[in-house]
Amino acid sequence: MIPLNVAATWTRMLSVTAGACAAAGAPGPGTRVRGKAAAAEPPSGPWLGLIDFEGLTRAERAVLEPWLYRHAEPLLLVRQLLLARPLGEEIFVELTAQALEAMPEGWRDSPRPILILAPAGRTGPERRKQYLEALSRLRIPLVARGSELWAIREFDKDFLVALAQLRDPLERAAFRSAIDPSQTRLFDQQLPAAEAALLDDLVGARDEDSAVALDLAALSSLHPQAHPLALYGAVERAHNRRRAESERTQFSARTIQARLSARAFPEVPRDCSAEFAERASSVAPLLPADVQRLFEASELLLW
């Protein structure tokens, strides 16, 4: 087992149950876009979830794997995420036994949205490039032509490992005895709540009030038939145009594809048209800078 920092873990648990985020990045199947979960958008049905273990220590993998298969996988399944076996140094897509049994009839016969769950701070640009190259090489129907509908959502690796470890009765008892006795009852209440919040964060079921999330909802209203991952790719790229190089994110497949094909920064976007400004303002009250950003995202989406 991995030695847990009791004070840090307990503080993190309380912050997550109070609303702090345990995973962020691209939308997952539970993300609500215009009040509807992303998995309900076309194409409907479960998404394919790939959890990346590359960069984790052997001890971290030993804690996470049994927790994932015995406990978390069914709970992610009801959150519309079918899992493949965790990714290692090589990216190879193989569904778990539970996923094979639970997948709807015909589900693997056509491309599906793919959500890669990666440990925050452990996935640099080269690893993201490996995702794209590996998925582009695969020709099985499940991921064929799926490169436009996959993206990355990063999770708090330390918190995930801690909660997985606390599923063990001996580890939980030792942790409980190490905190202030006046807080043990609160710990008993907060542990299942923290686990539920973490699983919800992995699939994007809890609301995010970021500027990207707000633009995603607005762009979805303008393009109601577009898939949430395609919308996210366009919004992320529009935001990245305004960020310094060190602050840019690459959580969407389209962003990475653009970089690989030399459509890099800086870019010179067109000014927003009067027609689009009128259309966008009918969706929500927006500042001119917001309208311009949405216009650029809309053009990237259509392109």
Q: Where are the domains of the chain?
A: 6-203, 211-302
In sign, the C-alpha dihedral spanning 302, 201, 242, 287 is: positive
Q: With bands split at pLDDT 50, 70 and 90, how would you rate the model's confidence at 283?
A: confident
More confident residue, 169 or 143: 169
**DSSP state for residue 41 in the 8-state scheme:** S
Q: Is the pLDDT of residue 264 over 60?
A: no
Q: What is the pLDDT of residue 162?
A: 97
More confident residue, 45 or 100: 100
Q: What is the pLDDT of residue 239?
A: 94
Kindly report each contact of residues 175-179 with a partner whose C-beta sits within 8 Å and lies 24 or more positions away, as own/partner: 175/4, 175/6, 175/9, 178/6, 179/6, 179/10
The predicted-structure confidence for 71-90, as pLDDT tens digits, reads as follows 999 999 999 999 999 998 88
The predicted-structure confidence for 49-58, as pLDDT tens digits, reads as follows 999 998 899 9
**Percent of the chain whose pLDDT exceeds 70:** 93
**Percent of the chain whose pLDDT exceeds 90:** 62
- SS3 state at 37: strand
What are phi and psi for residue 296, nearest 5 degrees?
A: -65, -45
The predicted-structure confidence for 147-171, as pLDDT tens digits, reads as follows 678 899 999 999 999 999 999 999 9
The pTM of the full predicted model, rounded to 2 decimals, is 0.91
**DSSP state for residue 273 in the 8-state scheme:** P
How far apart are the C-alpha atoms of 48 and 113, rounded to whole Å? 6
